[in-house]
Amino acid sequence: MNTSTVAELLSQDASSQIIEVKGWVRTFRANRFIALNDGSTLNNIQCVVDFENFDETLLKRITTGAALHIKGELVESQGKGQKVEIVVSSLEVLGDSDPETYPIQPKKHSFEFLRENAHLRTRTNTFSAVMRIKSALSFAIHKYFTENGFYNMHTPMITGSDAEGAGEMFRITTLDAKNPPLDENGEVNFKEDFFGKEANLTVSGQLEAETYAMSLGKVYTFGPTFRAENSNTSRHLAEFWMVEPEVAFMDLAGNMDLAEDFMKSVIAYVLEHNKEDLNFLDQRLFDEEKTKPQTERSPMRLIEKLKFIADNNFKRVSYTEAIDILRNSKPNKKKKFKYLINEWGADLQSEHERFLVEKHFKCPVILFDYPANIKAFYMRLNDDEKTVRAMDVLFPGIGEIVGGSQREERLDVLKNKMAELDIPEEELWWYLDLRKYGTAVHSGFGLGFERLVMFATGMSNIRDVIPYPRTPQNAEF
Residues that bind Mg ion (CB under 5 A): 403
Bridge-based pairing state of the strands 199-201 and 239-248: unpaired
Instruction: Compute the CA torsion angle 328, 332, 334, 340 (nearest 10 deg).
Output: -140
Fill in the per-residue mask, 192 to 211: x = in contact with ligand 4AD (CB under 6 A), - = not in contact: ------------x-x-----
| Separation CA 42–CA 123 (nearest Å) | 10
* Contact pick of 34, 49, 153, 163 for ligand 4AD (by CB under 6 A): 163
* Contact pick of 162, 445, 457, 469 for ligand 4AD (by CB under 6 A): 445
Fill in the per-residue mask, 244 to 283: x = in contact with ligand 4AD (CB under 6 A), - = not in contact: x---------------------------------------
Provide, rounded to whole angstroms, the least separation between the CB of residue 386 and Mg ion.
Answer: 19
Choose the one of Mg ion, ligand 4AD, none that binds residue 446, judging by a C-beta under 5 to 8 angstroms depending on kind: ligand 4AD
Provide, rounded to whole angstroms, the least separation between the CB of residue 237 and ligand 4AD.
Answer: 4
| Separation CA 422–CA 410 (nearest Å) | 18
Choose the one of ligand 4AD, Mg ion, none that binds residue 206, judging by a C-beta under 5 to 8 angstroms depending on kind: ligand 4AD
For 123, other C-beta atoms within 10 Å of its C-beta total 19
* Contact pick of 448, 458, 459, 469 for ligand 4AD (by CB under 6 A): 448
Q: Half-sphere exposure of 48 toward its Cβ, with a 13 Å CA cutoff?
A: 12
Choose the one of ligand 4AD, Mg ion, none that binds residue 244, judging by a C-beta under 5 to 8 angstroms depending on kind: ligand 4AD
**Which amino acid appears at position 105 of this protein?**
Q
The residues, ordered by sequence, that sit 6+ positions from 58 with a Cβ below 8 Å of its Cβ are 91, 93
First to last CA, the chain: 37
Provide, rounded to whole angstroms, the least separation between the CB of residue 259 and Mg ion.
Answer: 13
Provide, rounded to whole angstroms, the least separation between the CB of residue 209 and Mg ion.
Answer: 16
**Which of 28, 445 has the CB closer to ligand 4AD?**
445
Interface with ligand 4AD includes 400 (CB under 6 A)?
yes
Interface with ligand 4AD includes 226 (CB under 6 A)?
no
Provide, rounded to whole angstroms, the least separation between the CB of residue 399 and ligand 4AD.
Answer: 9
Closest CA to 87 of 40, 123, 54, 41: 54
Interface with ligand 4AD includes 227 (CB under 6 A)?
yes
**Which amino acid appears at position 218 of this protein?**
K
**C-alpha distances out from residue 17 to 86, 90, 311, Å:** 10, 14, 45
**Which of 73, 229 has the CB closer to Mg ion?**
229
Q: Which residues bind ligand 4AD (CB under 6 A)?
A: 163-164, 204, 206, 227, 229, 236-237, 240, 242, 244, 400-404, 444-446, 448, 450-451
